[in-house]
Amino acid sequence: MRIGKVFAISMLILFVFAGSVMAEDRVSLGFLYGSTENLDLIDRTNGAINQVAPTCLDLDEKGNLDLTSNLTHTFVEKMHERGLIVTPFLSNHWARQKGRRAINNAEKLSDQIVKVINDYDLDGINVDIENLTEDDRDDLTNFVQVLRNKMPEGKLLTVCVAANPTGREDGWQGSYDYEKLGEISDYIFIMTYDEHSVGSPEGPVASNEFVENSIIYALQYVSKDKIVMGIPFYGRYWANDNEDYLAGQAVVIGAVPTLISKHKGIVEYYKDVGETKATITVNNELVECKINGEQLPDGTYTIWYQTNDDIKSKLAIVNKYDLLGCGVWALGQEKAEVWKYFYDELNKTPRVAETEEQEVEETEVKDFEYYAAIVRSAGIESEFEKNMKKTICKKAIEKNNLEREDKLMINNISLRIKNSNEVRFNEKENRKEDRKSSYDAGIVTDFKKVRRTKLEKHY
């Protein structure tokens, strides 16, 4: 069975007693790479983001904190004036040895981080240590735990993790212990992009299948309330006629429409994939072609990138799995028109937060137990057991396109609930008639007295 079934059934049950939960806006995180002086990149989002993660906290060769000039009191103050949460990200910028020295310098590095948080009135920190391996898994987890123990009260600790749609336990993906990091941190940010990247064959950067399978895997180990999903504001391009040219380099999506219009671009839309493909023909004698300041040799190039519809399809996945929110890499790489729809699409369906304690009326509890029993009677009791999550999610990855079956099953359950409700209603009405007849016949003269007598005998 698919995890979609669990999700849909859960929504069905929650609908019955929706009054006992509260809806709230999702987290909308924007990574700010480079200078923090251009506040237009923040202001043009029109309030669509509520958290910002600037690149301010680097590492030196010994694994100590290297504070960059991007972090200033003025920047933090201006973000707070705009109502934004500021959580700079700590990065090794893909340097493996630097990352290893950092996580093995847990005590000293964590002290340095906490000092910066207090000195600059930051709202927390995002740990973004990448390009490690399964050999570093425990050390990375330990570093995050040491930092958590020292974090000032009320400050956020979040962690970036690699997307892992196939459940790999080795390599870069294997360096992240989803379950433990999810328990320690306030949330994990899943980098659901670079499905195809530098040096790989051409293909989408973040297809919907890749993204959704990554979320399904994560939900085995981490609550939906602790998952923030990544959306790339960049694409990648490949030279079709030059094998020596570095494949899969990045291009910001804001630049792609101009490249298409200037260089005879042919666009292919793949709605089911959730990403768009363009082919451009470069002839520098006619029109010079540069990407990231580098002139491209003549020839044809394939670009995979996100259009507005593709971005909306990613936001739909956030809503589908009722995740805590999403984060974009990175602010300034997008077309400004993205922000016209971003907030509304992200919050299209109200987020229902899971709470450890929910105050509900006794009748609501009984209703929940009643509907849960019906669902179990449909033969899917194991879906409710925590220890079955792994099996369910693995099957979901293999059968991720069975939407029709899901709908049929939910319709059947809904029909059973409806029929059962009718039976309960009829039984209740019959009992009322029997009681009324008893009163009319003088058999029962004081129902409350009889009930009280029964209770006294019971005790």
The β-bridge relationship of strands 275-282 and 266-270 is: antiparallel
**Token pair 């251009």 in the structure block, residue:** 38
* CA angle (346 as vertex; 345, 350 as ends), nearest 5: 100
Please check whether residue 375 is in contact with residue 16, taking contact to mean a CB–CB distance below 8 angstroms. Answer: no
Give the pair of three-digit tokens for residue 173.
């993906």
- Which residues carry out catalysis? 130
DSSP codes joined into one string, 32-58: E-S-S--THHHHTTTT---EEEEEEEE
Buried b (16+ CB within 10 A) or exposed e, 113-137: bbebbeebebbbbbbbbbbbebebb
Estimate to the nearest angstrom the gap between the alpha carbon of 419 and the chain centroid: 37
DSSP state, 91?
Answer: E
Instruction: Look at the alpha carbons of 186, 225, 81, 55 in this order and tell me if their dihedral is positive or negative.
Output: positive
Q: Is 208 exposed, middle or buried (0-12, 13-18, 19+ CB in 10 A)?
A: buried
Measuring CA to CA, which residue among 25, 26, 91 is closest to residue 63? Answer: 91
> Which amino acid does the sequence have at 338?
V
